[in-house]
Amino acid sequence: MKKIKLGNTDLEISAMGLGMMGMSPGVYGEINDEESIKTIHRALELGINLLDTADTYGNGHNEQLLGKALAGRRDQAIVATKFGFGPNWQFVGGHPDYVKKAVDESLMRLNLDYIDIYYQHRVDPNVPIEETVGAMADLVQAGKVLYLGLSEANSEQIHRANTVHPMAALQTEYSLWSRDIEADILPTVRELGMTHVAYSPLSRGFISGQLRKYEDLAPDDMRRFLPRFQKENFQKNVDIVTKLEEMAREKGMSVPQLAIAWTMAKGAVPIPGTKRVKYLEENVKAAEIELTDEDLARLDKVSPESAVNGTRY
């Protein structure tokens, strides 16, 4: 697995990471901690060191799971976690006191002395971002965190944050179906020398081709509440996936590999989420794929941003 520098730092991260949200309850249906830990271990074996979690995933379960998985393996991993959402996504918190409380709780659950990359999960509209980042910078000074990042921040917020402390990474949803950041936010990320980390490169599994109808979603699957997965949009979006499947077959790869390779060709570090070893091993092969300019142009026609039916949230 190729390694790249995180932003303007000397920290080397894998060119693809592992998103862990789906390994916790209340997200994508049934979970199995033992299988999830095997998947994390296999990711490390395959050269993936960027492991992405958050305190709100499973209300702490996800961080505890990663802590267990990294016992005796800390030196192999770059741990990225986030703060900002309260339990069950009930509020957005960015007050300095909240930041300092959140990091200590994350460190305890992860059973770690420090976090490699600490993200603000969402910008708190009621707290100036300068105050939040100031508290995050204090964590760096205290040795609790190495590098800082933002998640789903806009261009103005990114610039303001950087006046307080350098931001190493920006994490956003980015896929063939979610390209709204290309006009304004991505140029800002490149201007500041940040790493762009792309979550949901398979549009929360829709582009994987595993879903063919709304009823395929488990009753407790959060995607049942997202617009793109609603019955009125579902079949139209499946039709787009079918076109992607045709192109993938021609090129001798799976649709997930094609979609992940696209995000990498766009300069992002994708963190496709999976809780199963077989899907992880399939996804990793995307790192070996080099798409041509002709391939990228064709994908723009097959799946333009305007084609997807329904908003992200």
Q: How far apart are CA 132 and CA 54, in angstroms?
A: 17
Residue bearing tokens 């992002």: 268
The structure tokens listed for 140 are 């760096």
What is the 8-class DSSP label of residue 92?
B
- Phi, psi at residue 158, to the nearest 5°? -60, -45
* Angular region, 52: left φ>0, alpha ψ -120 to 50, beta rest: beta
Percent composition of the chain: helix, strand, coil (DSSP 3-state, to 5): 50, 15, 35
Q: How far apart are CA 239 and CA 57, in angstroms?
A: 31
Catalytic residue check, 147:
no
Catalytic residue among 28, 57, 98, 119: 57
Bridge partners (DSSP) of residue 79 are 51
10 Å CB burial of residue 19 (0-12, 13-18, 19+) is: buried
- Active-site residue list: 57
